Amino acid sequence: MILYTGRPDDEQGRLSKELRTYDYLDSLGIEYRRLDHAPADSDAPELLEAIDRELGARICKNLFLANRQRTRFYMLMIPSDKVFRSSDISHQAGSSRLHFAEPEYMEEMIGTTPGSASVMGLMNDKDHRVQLLVDEDILREEYVGCHPCINTSSLRIRTEDVFGKFLPATGHDWITVHAE
């Protein structure tokens, strides 16, 4: 695996949602490092560890959640070593018991599929239907590791750029939570 600066030189074979992510970051003047790799998901813990090591940042777990009535949707960013406990996070979010939202909602609202969910997907949520929940430990890190809306690449972006430039540009705020 090679750590690159910025977008790929050869964009052939890249999905439009990935390229839109690079376009958006570039338009905001946000610097990022990119690592291309095999599809990364929770079924490949060794690959995830290698990506974190090469990237120099931990890839966040990004969980797409909904309340029971499917009237409120959330993206939860937590460190990969923390556990999602619905009752704890639901209480902190001020919502009824949260559960994993169906993939079709994820695709519709943030333009990603399971395994590719990322804070970058909020650029696609023009109607602001998704509330971001961020574990406090993420905010203490120098870098955020995330996917560019596809799980065959990973990005390292300064945390201050994600929360100080990217999210304000999307019009999204966040609620800080504590996961165990």
Which structural domains are found in the chain, ordered by start?
A: 3-177 (3.90.960.10)
Q: How buried is 126 (Cβ within 10 angstroms: 0-12 exposed, 13-18 middle, 19+ buried)?
A: exposed
Residue 76 Cα distances to 83, 93, 175, angstroms: 11, 10, 10
Other C-beta atoms closer than 10 Å to the C-beta of 139 total: 15
CB 7 within 8 A of CB 34: yes
| pLDDT tens for each residue of 68-104 | 999 999 999 999 889 899 999 999 999 988 999 999 9
Specify the pLDDT at position 162.
98
**Residue 170 or residue 48, greater confidence:** 170
